[in-house]
Chains A and B, each alone.
Chain A
Amino acid sequence: MPDIVDIAVSADGFKTLVTAVQAANLVETLKSPGPFTVFAPNDDAFAKLPPGTVQTLVQNIPQLTRILTFHVVPGKWMKANLERVDSVTSIEGSPIQIDTSDGFEVKNATVIAADIEADNGVIHVLDRVILMG
């Protein structure tokens, strides 16, 4: 089975995320056995951020890494597992609220494709970039 990075690279609509992950040197980590749960914002999600936001982050790798690792949770959390919790803790350290009462929402983002299984974890695709706080 392909790993998390392979899936993101081969799928359409994750160009910004893949570029950011490469810039932040997270490729190796996300290719490791993990397992990880990745909440992956697609290109449209990044495009919703005001101009300059991504540029500044890409210029500052530790800060970019922090935002990216906020989208990653240790362990393999399928939607069925997430239905049983209110929040999970990201690798960044901040909690991510989960709401499955009406659809499948991760903080203020909506999951538009869930349970994409990879060799080393699972991907849920988000329609917005989520931010700590």
Chain B
Amino acid sequence: MTTLTLPQTTLPPSTHEFAEVIHRLEAGGSMLPDTPENLMQIIGIYKAYAVPMDFYWRDLLYIAERVFLDPLPAFKYFLPKEYLDLPNHYAGDTADLRIWRGDATAHPELLAFMEKGELKQKLPKLLHHLWHDRINMEFAEACMRAMLWHRGMGGQFDPYLDSDEYKANADRAIRAYFQGNPAMLGLYRLFPDMFLEKVRELSYYANLGLFWEIMAPVFFEMSDLYDEGKLTTVPEAMNFLVNGIFAIAGRPIYHHVYIRGECYEIIPKSKGFMWLYEAALPYVEAVFYRTSPFRGTKSYNAQAKQVPADQADFHYGILYADVFPVGSAGIPPTLLMQDMLHFLPPYLVDYYQKHCRGEDDMLIQLGISFQRSMYNVTSAVIQALRTALLYPLDDPNPKHLLANRQFFETQLDRFKRPEARLRDIQRQDYR
């Protein structure tokens, strides 16, 4: 378990470019400096993120489990009551492990927004949808697609998608779904791989939905603890995440589909796939680090090697994002920022109004807060991996401390490239 006590370091100082940050990590801290202003920003953003996330995970599971291969999924963002009431496994009285003390069903702020939207007017759902006055599910789908597109980022889930067992399970579900539909079954016969690839995508919908089902209550609980004065420093916030990562590491990752009342296990729970290895780590790699260049933000010339030849070198995630040009309409991170804008706690609204252009550039300002908050989440992942695979920070053995040091340095090597924002988030005036 991570502790906040300073280790009696027996190592010479690091000579790494980010030595200061490395020493902070070695002392049980975060990549994000421990200031009250940073804490206020990241906790406020976690809360604003958790509300739309409560929609994302429910809808991702709804699409993976119910919409499935609907060739015209026009209503896939219209979440039925059954999924709004779906009890979160980590909140409420029925929780497997209660992380958030709140309720297991959809968050009240989410329900209020779904009813009246930004217009603050109760209109038919379809009108809110067409006016785009709704939760931007496209952001969640962009994250899912980043995971699907990169693939092969560790864990057993992704290789399983290419196994004969998976193909047979998918085949059974495809045939059942299109039973009595000769046109679609004929297409399936002609293009079986296309359908299979679509099912793989749906498996990633399930994967991400099950991942976020946990993150939403974690963020809600952090926000509540902060409001109660029980979370007072950035390292405390990070350690809450570290403990959370361990507590739910063993949560199963699976893909079930319900067709005419019958459950088809495309990825059964019995495969033993786990939240930590099969969802969280690939998610962090795909979304925080890699993703892909967003269309319309910048012209990249692949022939001039402006886009890395190796996918592992992609660096378009939130940890590298220049939030300003990304902040254009329709760009996935902007969609998220717009979603978060609706649920900001009042203290964060006041804060943004005092800086830069106030209301006018609030999306950018909250985007930077989001970046800070995700550096803190990434710090938690790094500390959790260190706890799981290496040694305690106060280990008396210098060899072990050196192994920890090398691990931290390797992790921070990824932020040496000029696009990384690790340097910027060290400053408070980066907004």
Contacts and interface: CB of A to CB of B under 8 A. Distances in A.
Interface of A: 48-53, 55-57, 59-60, 62-67, 102, 107-108, 131-133
Interface of B: 1, 96-97, 154, 242-243, 246-252, 269-274, 277, 385, 387-391, 399-400
A60 B268 CA distance: 12
Contacts of B251: 56, 60, 63
A60 B269 CA distance: 9
B96 A62 contact: no
B403 to A, nearest CB: 8
A80 to B, nearest CB: 23
Contact of A50 (B96, B154, B247, B385): B247
Given A66-B274, A133-B388, A56 B96 contact: yes
Contacts, number: 68
A36 B204 CA distance: 36
Contact of B252 (A50, A60, A108, A133): A60
B247 A108 contact: no
A108 B390 CA distance: 5
Given A62-B272, A108-B391, A51 B247 contact: yes
B96 to A, nearest CB: 6
A55 B247 CA distance: 8
B243 A63 contact: no
Contacts of B399: 102
B250 A53 contact: yes
A133 B390 CA distance: 10
A107 B389 CA distance: 7
A108 to B, nearest CB: 5
A93 B399 CA distance: 28
A50 B389 CA distance: 14
Nearest to B154: A133
Contacts of B272: 62-63, 65-66
Contacts of A59: 96-97, 250
Contacts of B97: 52, 55-56, 59
A62 B247 contact: no
B389 A67 contact: no
Contacts of B250: 53, 56-57, 59-60, 63-64, 67
A59 B250 CA distance: 9
